[in-house]
């Protein structure tokens, strides 16, 4: 299983019913700590392709990278980290 597949499974475990709007930016910020910009872009495309994120919610490519320049609050990061931990994925603070 490749890195992209592992991250897709990670997101699915934490968000089995899809990613709510308020968690999208904090989630991408967490992922950017571990992925390159190109990998984040690829992941965004795959999240849309697999139906985890509706296609009309983001402009895959430039949209992902621009939106993740916004810094989430510590509370948002904690909420998303806890959600992913609940899905069985370890999230560590960097």
pLDDT in tens, 1-22: 677 788 788 788 888 888 887 8
| pLDDT for residue 74 is more than 50 | yes
Terminal-to-terminal C-alpha distance of the chain? 25
Dist. CA 57–CA 38, nearest whole Å: 19
At 72, give phi and psi (nearest 5°): -75, 155
Tokens of 63: 């949209």
Model pLDDT, residue 81: 84
Model pLDDT, residue 61: 44
* pTM of the predicted model as reported, rounded to 2 decimal places: 0.60
| pLDDT for residue 49 is more than 60 | yes
Model pLDDT, residue 42: 83
Measured in whole angstroms, the distance separating CA 13 from the mean position of its chain's CA atoms is 12
């Amino acid at each position: 299983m490749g890195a992209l597949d592992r991250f897709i499974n990670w997101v699915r475990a934490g968000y089995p019913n899809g990613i709510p709007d308020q968690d999208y930016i904090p989630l991408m910020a967490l992922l950017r700590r571990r992925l390159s910009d190109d990998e984040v872009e690829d992941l965004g495309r795959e999240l849309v392709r697999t139906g985890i994120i509706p296609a009309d919610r983001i402009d895959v490519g430039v949209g992902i990278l621009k939106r993740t320049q916004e810094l989430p609050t510590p509370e948002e990061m904690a909420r998303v980290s806890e959600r992913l931990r609940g899905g069985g994925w370890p999230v560590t603070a960097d």
